[in-house]
């Protein structure tokens, strides 16, 4: 009986080893994850708090956040990841990005608040550091909440639309999911980060304008989305449909 149980244990281990060794590996998934996290961190910490002005022929001079130039790229990657690899694998990327954003926020808070050295350089630099990262806790909280809600909404909508359209009309899925995700992101981020800090008129104007611009970026990027998706599907031999996926965000299972 003991030998039989031991044999069964060895057989089960071998079966598990075979299953694990045959698990599908992807050439570009990790690279896309790294690019996504890099863009997320840079766009949230470098350009989030800065206001700039753009001059349009009809609308005139409008105030926007500098992060609008780069943050939409993260949604581009989110669309590509969900379209090719599926919701579950994009969910892992979202959590990796969330963890990186949390650590960067914690590090910014610690660096700002530890006592500076008593020298001429730090006498100037500490004030500059506080000016850039002194409000980091609020911006970071707003960034994490908005990013988490917007990214999961974007991935969910795209995955569901892919099944509903049977894989057709990628342009509709990419633009539609971005429109939903960016709406949540803009509303939550600017409301949580800058309400009471910026003038209310500027706050509403920036949030609405950035929503239009971010969604517009997705429209302009449609040819690039098609090119990237077609390339990845071809080289990865993957075109995932989320027909049986559990769409809970609170999981790392694939």
User: In whole angstroms, how far apart are CA 23 and each of 88, 155, 254?
Assistant: 15, 24, 11
Does residue 137 surpass a pLDDT of 60? yes
Percent of the chain with pLDDT over 90: 55
Strands 51-56, 60-65: pairing is antiparallel
Does residue 166 surpass a pLDDT of 50? yes
Does residue 141 surpass a pLDDT of 90? no
Distance, CA of 80 to CA of 75 (rounded, Å) = 9
The pTM assigned to this predicted structure is: 0.84
End-to-end CA distance of the chain: 37
Q: Read off the pLDDT of residues 100-112 as tens digits, 9 standing for 90 and up.
A: 989 988 888 899 8
Q: Read off the pLDDT of residues 73-101 as tens digits, 9 standing for 90 and up.
A: 999 999 999 999 999 999 999 999 999 98
Q: Read off the pLDDT of residues 120-129 as tens digits, 9 standing for 90 and up.
A: 999 999 988 8
Distance of CA 69 to the CA centre of its chain: 15
Higher-scoring residue by pLDDT: 159, 138: 159
pLDDT grade for 6, boundaries at 50, 70 and 90: very low
| Domain extent listing, the chain | 28-236
Does residue 2 surpass a pLDDT of 50? no
Does residue 136 surpass a pLDDT of 80? no
The pair of structure tokens assigned to 62 is 């409008």
Length of the chain: 254
Does residue 3 surpass a pLDDT of 50? no
Question: H or E stretch including 21?
Answer: helix 2-21
Question: 3-class SS at 158?
Answer: helix
Distance, CA of 157 to CA of 247 (rounded, Å) = 11
The pair of structure tokens assigned to 193 is 């980060």
pLDDT the model gives residue 238: 97
pLDDT the model gives residue 176: 96
Average pLDDT score over the chain: 86
Does residue 11 surpass a pLDDT of 60? no
The pair of structure tokens assigned to 241 is 């449909």
Higher-scoring residue by pLDDT: 183, 142: 183
Q: Read off the pLDDT of residues 174-210 as tens digits, 9 standing for 90 and up.
A: 999 999 999 999 999 889 988 888 888 888 887 888 8
Distance, CA of 104 to CA of 136 (rounded, Å) = 10
Percent of the chain with pLDDT over 70: 88
pLDDT the model gives residue 21: 39
**CATH code of domain 28-236:** 1.10.1760
Q: Read off the pLDDT of residues 47-81 as tens digits, 9 standing for 90 and up.
A: 666 777 878 777 677 777 677 778 889 999 999 99
Strands (E), the chain: 51-56, 60-65
């Amino acid at each position: 009986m003991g030998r039989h149980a031991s044999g069964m244990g060895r057989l089960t281990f071998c079966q598990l080893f075979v299953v694990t060794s045959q698990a599908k590996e992807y050439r570009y998934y990790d690279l896309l994850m790294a690019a996504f996290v890099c863009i997320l961190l840079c766009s949230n910490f470098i350009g989030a708090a800065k206001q700039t002005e753009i001059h349009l022929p009809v609308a005139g001079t409008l105030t926007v956040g500098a992060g609008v130039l780069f943050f939409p790229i993260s949604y581009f990657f989110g669309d590509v990841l969900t379209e090719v690899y599926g919701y579950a694998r994009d969910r892992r990327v979202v959590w990796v990005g969330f963890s990186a954003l949390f650590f960067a926020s914690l590090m910014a808070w610690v660096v700002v608040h530890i006592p500076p050295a008593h020298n001429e350089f730090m006498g100037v630099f500490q004030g500059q550091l506080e000016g850039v990262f002194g409000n980091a806790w609020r911006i970071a909280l707003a960034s994490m909440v908005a990013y988490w809600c917007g990214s999961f909404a974007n991935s969910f909508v795209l995955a569901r639309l892919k099944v509903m359209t049977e894989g057709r009309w990628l342009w509709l899925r990419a633009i539609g999911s971005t429109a939903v995700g960016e709406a949540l992101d803009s509303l939550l981020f600017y409301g949580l980060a800058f309400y009471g800090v910026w003038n209310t008129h500027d706050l509403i104007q920036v949030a609405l304008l950035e929503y239009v611009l971010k969604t517009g970026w997705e429209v302009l990027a449609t040819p690039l989305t098609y090119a990237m998706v077609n390339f990845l599907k071809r080289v990865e031999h993957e075109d995932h449909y989320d027909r049986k996926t559990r769409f809970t965000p609170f999981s790392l299972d694939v």
